[in-house]
Amino acid sequence: MQKILYENFIKSLGDEVLEVPAPKPPEVGQVRLYLMTPPEYILITEKVHEDLFKIVPLTSYVQLAITNKYPPTIRWRGFLLVPLPFEVYAEKTLLEKHSEAVFKVSEGLEKIAEYVKTVRIRGIGKWREKFIEKNIERWKDINLSSIVASVIRAEEGKTIVIRFRAPVSEDRETKLAARSQGAFRGSNWIGVLEEGRLYMYLSEDLVGRRIRISYRGEVLYEGPASLRFVVEDVPETVTDLEEGLNVQVLGDRS
């Protein structure tokens, strides 16, 4: 039965994420429907600061979500939802843009938060482990992009803006749907791409050192490193940022 449920879940997955026509602000305690494919319920458990929240994804696949403990339940209009055993950082703008408020939980937040932090997700059975791992994978880009965007926004004065001037050859262009946003991890940087802007976050040990940022050999920037860079005008056809965008250390701090 668990295998069948897992296979049905995998078949339902898609890449499309829809936008909400009338966004409403997120609040702690809200259960929202995040419009990925398929849509998934989430519970907002904490407001980290004005633009960043902690959420816990919810699922109706109760049999696959059981860990070493039976998860707490949320019931609403005939729906039975249980929390998945991990937290996700979600930026306010993403929640407003891609999720809609459904109802609000008035009690049990502490119990759910405690469950998520203390449960064991190993040794719980092959299909349950695979289900949880797949869900973690589904939310990792939102988690990473929200953290990066939050840090960048907090330190906007220390951000260096550069432009993507490198040519993109046809063999690197995608014939699939253009990827206009997403999280990326290079050899010594992480970043999030949002509508042609790549927000880069470098390793702290590079700050102040002389570096060169290049894409496939084309130099985009050379000079002292900051913690954050914004690369503007990134073409939607670029699909190899993690491999092609390189940060090279040229020298020590002056």
DSSP output for 180-205: -EEEEE-SSEEEEEETTEEEEEE-GG
Whole-angstrom Cα distance, residue 158 to residue 207? 11
Determine contact, residues 82/59, Cβ cutoff 8 Å: yes
| Domain residue extents for the chain | 2-154, 158-251
Q: What is the pLDDT of residue 177?
A: 34
Between these two residues, 222 and 165, which has the higher pLDDT value? 222
Whole-angstrom Cα distance, residue 40 to residue 99? 9
Determine contact, residues 42/57, Cβ cutoff 8 Å: yes
The continuous run of DSSP H or E covering 63 comes out as: helix 62-65
For residue 168, what pLDDT band results from cuts at 50, 70 and 90? low
Three-state DSSP at 234 gives coil
pTM of the full structure: 0.65
Q: What is the pLDDT of residue 51?
A: 83
Most confident of 62-66, 117-121, 171-175, 197-201: 62-66
φ/ψ of 158, rounded to 5, equals: -105, 15
In the numeric block, which tokens belong to residue 253?
């701090």
pLDDT in tens, 201-212: 887 778 888 999
Whole-angstrom Cα distance, residue 110 to residue 132? 21
Nearest C-alpha neighbor of 101 from the set 20, 33, 22: 33
φ/ψ of 41, rounded to 5, equals: -80, 145
